[in-house]
Amino acid sequence: MRFLKLQQVMDKTSLCRSSIYNLINTGKFPKNVTVMGKRKAWLESEIEDWMIERMQAAELD
Protein backbone atom coordinates (compact mmCIF):
# COMPACT_ATOMS: atom_id res chain seq x y z
CA MET A 1 0.00 0.00 0.00
CA ARG A 2 1.32 3.42 -0.94
CA PHE A 3 0.19 7.02 -0.63
CA LEU A 4 0.28 9.32 -3.65
CA LYS A 5 0.60 13.09 -3.54
CA LEU A 6 -1.64 15.21 -5.75
CA GLN A 7 1.05 15.66 -8.41
CA GLN A 8 1.58 11.89 -8.55
CA VAL A 9 -2.18 11.35 -8.97
CA MET A 10 -2.22 13.94 -11.74
CA ASP A 11 0.70 12.24 -13.50
CA LYS A 12 -0.82 8.77 -13.12
CA THR A 13 -4.31 9.71 -14.35
CA SER A 14 -3.44 12.55 -16.77
CA LEU A 15 -6.09 14.65 -15.03
CA CYS A 16 -5.56 18.23 -13.93
CA ARG A 17 -6.07 19.37 -10.35
CA SER A 18 -9.48 20.94 -10.99
CA SER A 19 -10.78 17.83 -12.79
CA ILE A 20 -9.74 15.64 -9.88
CA TYR A 21 -11.50 17.83 -7.33
CA ASN A 22 -14.59 18.19 -9.55
CA LEU A 23 -14.81 14.40 -9.82
CA ILE A 24 -14.37 14.05 -6.05
CA ASN A 25 -17.19 16.54 -5.46
CA THR A 26 -19.52 14.51 -7.68
CA GLY A 27 -18.51 11.23 -6.02
CA LYS A 28 -16.81 9.89 -9.15
CA PHE A 29 -13.21 9.82 -7.90
CA PRO A 30 -11.58 8.47 -4.72
CA LYS A 31 -11.34 10.97 -1.87
CA ASN A 32 -8.02 11.83 -0.38
CA VAL A 33 -7.17 10.89 3.19
CA THR A 34 -5.38 12.82 5.90
CA VAL A 35 -1.95 11.30 6.37
CA MET A 36 -0.84 13.61 9.17
CA GLY A 37 -1.78 17.15 10.10
CA LYS A 38 -2.75 18.96 6.92
CA ARG A 39 -0.98 16.47 4.65
CA LYS A 40 -3.45 14.77 2.30
CA ALA A 41 -2.83 11.88 -0.06
CA TRP A 42 -4.60 9.20 -2.06
CA LEU A 43 -4.23 5.46 -1.74
CA GLU A 44 -2.54 4.19 -4.88
CA SER A 45 -4.76 1.09 -4.93
CA GLU A 46 -7.91 3.24 -5.01
CA ILE A 47 -6.55 5.30 -7.90
CA GLU A 48 -5.64 2.15 -9.80
CA ASP A 49 -9.10 0.66 -9.15
CA TRP A 50 -10.68 3.88 -10.48
CA MET A 51 -8.52 3.66 -13.61
CA ILE A 52 -9.53 0.03 -14.18
CA GLU A 53 -13.21 0.97 -13.81
CA ARG A 54 -12.77 3.74 -16.39
CA MET A 55 -11.12 1.33 -18.84
CA GLN A 56 -13.89 -1.23 -18.37
CA ALA A 57 -16.58 1.44 -18.86
CA ALA A 58 -14.86 2.55 -22.07
CA GLU A 59 -14.91 -1.03 -23.38
CA LEU A 60 -18.69 -1.18 -22.89
CA ASP A 61 -19.30 1.99 -24.91
Three-state DSSP at 21 gives: helix
pLDDT of 60 reads 78
pLDDT tens figures, 26-50: 999 999 999 999 999 999 999 999 9
Let me know if 1 is exposed, middle or buried by CB neighbors in 10 A (0-12, 13-18, 19+).
exposed
pLDDT tens figures, 14-25: 999 999 999 999
For residue 61, is pLDDT > 90? no
- Helical H runs in the chain? 6-13, 17-25, 44-60
Q: Is 51 in contact with 15 (CB distance < 8 Å)?
A: no
Report the CATH number that the domain containing residue 52 is assigned in CATH: 1.10.238
For residue 8, is pLDDT > 80? yes
Number of structural domains in the chain = 1
Question: What range does the domain containing 15 cover?
Answer: 3-60
